Amino acid sequence: MHIVHIAAEFAPLVKAGGLGEVLIGLSRALTSLGEKVDVIIPKYDLIPTNLLSNLQKEVPHFTAYEGSQEISNTMWSAQFENINLHLLEMHHPQKYFNRGEIYGFPDDVPRFLYFSKATVEYLKIKQLPIDILHLHDWHTAAIAPLIRDSIKVHSIALSIHNLEHQGKCGIKDLEAIGLSGSALSKCHGADSRYPDSYNTLKGGIESSDAIIPVSPTYAKEILTHQYGCGLDPILSKRKSHIYGILNGIDELLWDPSTDQHLKARFKTTDPLEKIIAAKKENKSFLANRFNLKADAPWVGAITRIVPQKGPEFLEAAIEQTIKNGGVYTLLGSSPIHDLQHQFEQLKKHYQNNPQVLLQLDFDEALAHQLYAALDFILLPSHFEPCGLAQLIGMHYGTTPIVRLTGGLKDTVFDTKEISKQNGFTFEEPTIQAFLHTLNRAMKIDPEKHAIIRHNGLKTNFGWEKPANNYMTLYRTLLI
C-alpha cells in the first residue's frame, strides 16, 4: 500500500510537541510492516540537514500561485533512517519557513495554506498512484478539499491531534490558494457560534474519508459541546467516518537502555531494584547540576504551558510538593505572553530553592533526563487528545498523575486492584481534587508504588499495535 503523510512536524528534525513524534513513530511502524511510506514536510531552516542522508533536489523548480503571485518552489528528497522524506522549499518572498521557529507567527494560516497548495502542485507533477493520503491537523487539512477533484487519490485520512487549533481564516485566505465553489464551502460555517466563519480543519473534516482523533475517548469527547470547540455539530454529522486510534511512542526515540542523554541507562525488563537504582543515579545527576535535593520524591511536568494543560494545577503543585518534602520540576514554555510571564515570576520566587526547578524553555536532552529521574509525572489537562508524556513516563519508570480525559483516560488506570494500577487519576477539574490525588500519590507506600511503577514499565506502548489499527482502517478505506 502506498501511504503519503503530509504534516507540519517530523521528530526529531522538527518538533514542537506530540505531532512530530506521531509522524516518525507511525511512519517507522508502517514501513516496518512493509508498506511504502512517504512523508512531506516544509523545509524549515531549523531542520538539522546533517541528520539526513541522500538529500537531493527531487523537483528543482515548480510553481504555485498565492493569489495572483506565482511563486517558485523546490522539492527535496532525503532519507531519515529508513523513511522517505520530501522537504518542500518554498521560495516565498515572506520567507514563510525560514524564521527559526515552527509556529507562532501572525501569518501562520497563510504559511500553511501556501505549503498545502504547493504540495498539491508537486503531487500533480508526480502523478503518483497514492492509496492513502494522510493529512495531520489544520496545517494540512485544506489539502483534502483542494485535491479532491484534481488528483487521483484513493482515500484521504485526516488525523486530529488537537481540535482546539483549526486554522481559522477569512475567505480571502482560502481563495488565495484556489479554493472555490463547493470545495470552498466545505471550509465555511466552521464554528456553530460564528456562522460566517471559515477554517481549514472543517474543510478537511468534510472532505476526508476517515477522520482519526488520536484516542478512542477523545473521538467520543469531540462530539460533545464541552470538547467540540464549535465543530461538534459537523463532527456529529460525520460520526460514521470517525475512528479513534490511540498513539504509541517511538521506542527508538524513547529507549532508556540506549538513551544517550541519560547518566544511567536501564532496560524496562530489568529487575525493578536495578531500575530504581538507575533512576536514583539520574536524579543525583540532575540534583548536582541544578542544586536540588536528591533524597526526595520528585514530581514534575514536561509540557507546553497553555490553558489546555492546566497551568493552575501545575502552579498549585509547587507548594504542595514542597510541603510533602518532595522536589518539583517543570520543563516547559508558553506561547502565551501572560502565562510565560506568570511562570517567570514563579521562577524568580523559587530561585535557589532546592525543592523547585522551573526551566522555562524547550530542551530535548533535559526532557529525557527528567523522564528518567522523576518519580511522578503530572498531566492535569483540561483536555488531552492522547498525551505522550504519560506513556514516555511509564516507559521510563515514572508514574503518571493525570486528569481523566481523552487519551489519559485510555492509558492511565487508578484501580482498586493494585495489579492493574499504573498511575493516579482525578476527574473533577478542581485544585482540591488535583491536590488530593497528588497527596495520595506522594504518600503511597513505597512497596505499592513499586508495583504501580512495574505495571507501567511492562505495558507495551509501542507503535506496533496502533500501526496495525491504522492498517485495518486503511484497508477498509480501500474497499
Give the β-pairing of 356-359 and 327-331: parallel
CA dihedral 334, 378, 414, 453 (to 10 degrees): 140
Handedness of CA 330, 445, 439, 247 (dihedral sign): positive
Contacts of 370 (CB under 8 A, 6+ apart): 286, 300, 302, 329, 331
Contacts of 460 (CB under 8 A, 6+ apart): none
Only segment of 16-24, 76-84, 446-454, 466-474 that touches ligand ADP (CB under 6 A):
16-24
First to last CA, the chain: 13
**CA angle 302-85-46, nearest 5°?**
50
302 binds ligand ADP (CB under 6 A): yes
Minimum CB distance to ligand ADP, residue 262 (Å) = 14
- 64 vs 143: CA distance, rounded Å: 14
388 binds ligand ADP (CB under 6 A): yes
x/- string (CB under 6 A) for ligand ADP, residues 208-247?
Answer: ----------------------------------------
Minimum CB distance to ligand ADP, residue 468 (Å) = 21
x/- string (CB under 6 A) for ligand ADP, residues 339-368?
Answer: -----------------------xxx--x-
Between 179 and 386, whose beta carbon lies closer to ligand ADP?
Answer: 386
Between 388 and 438, whose beta carbon lies closer to ligand ADP?
Answer: 388
62 binds ligand ADP (CB under 6 A): no
Residues 168-187 touching ligand ADP, rule: CB under 6 A, are: none
Q: Which of 5, 18, 299, 375 binds ligand ADP (CB under 6 A)?
A: 18
Q: Which of 332, 393, 397, 462 binds ligand ADP (CB under 6 A)?
A: 332
Q: Which of 61, 173, 25, 175 is nearest to 109 (CA)?
A: 173
Minimum CB distance to ligand ADP, residue 113 (Å) = 22
* DSSP helix, strand, coil percent of the chain (3-state; round to 5): 40, 20, 40
- 374 vs 280: CA distance, rounded Å: 9
Between 206 and 250, whose beta carbon lies closer to ligand ADP?
Answer: 250
Minimum CB distance to ligand ADP, residue 147 (Å) = 26
331 binds ligand ADP (CB under 6 A): yes
Q: Which of 357, 365, 360, 361 is nearest to 287 (CA)?
A: 357
Q: Which of 3, 6, 8, 21 binds ligand ADP (CB under 6 A)?
A: 21
Q: How many residues bind ligand ADP (CB under 6 A)?
A: 18
Q: Which of 282, 333, 334, 421 binds ligand ADP (CB under 6 A)?
A: 333
Contacts of 93 (CB under 8 A, 6+ apart): 69, 71
17 binds ligand ADP (CB under 6 A): yes
Q: Which of 303, 329, 421, 422 binds ligand ADP (CB under 6 A)?
A: 303
Lay out the sheet containing 327-331: strands in order across: 356-359, 327-331, 298-302, 376-379, 399-403, 424-426
Is 135 within 8 Å of 208 (Cβ atoms)?
yes
389 binds ligand ADP (CB under 6 A): yes
304 binds ligand ADP (CB under 6 A): yes
- 90 vs 42: CA distance, rounded Å: 8
412 binds ligand ADP (CB under 6 A): no
Between 107 and 364, whose beta carbon lies closer to ligand ADP?
Answer: 364
Minimum CB distance to ligand ADP, residue 335 (Å) = 11
* Residue 291 CB burial class (10 angstroms; 0-12, 13-18, ≥19): exposed
- 371 vs 211: CA distance, rounded Å: 32
Minimum CB distance to ligand ADP, residue 388 (Å) = 4
Binding site for ligand ADP (CB under 6 A): 17-18, 21, 302-304, 331-333, 362-364, 367, 386-389, 392
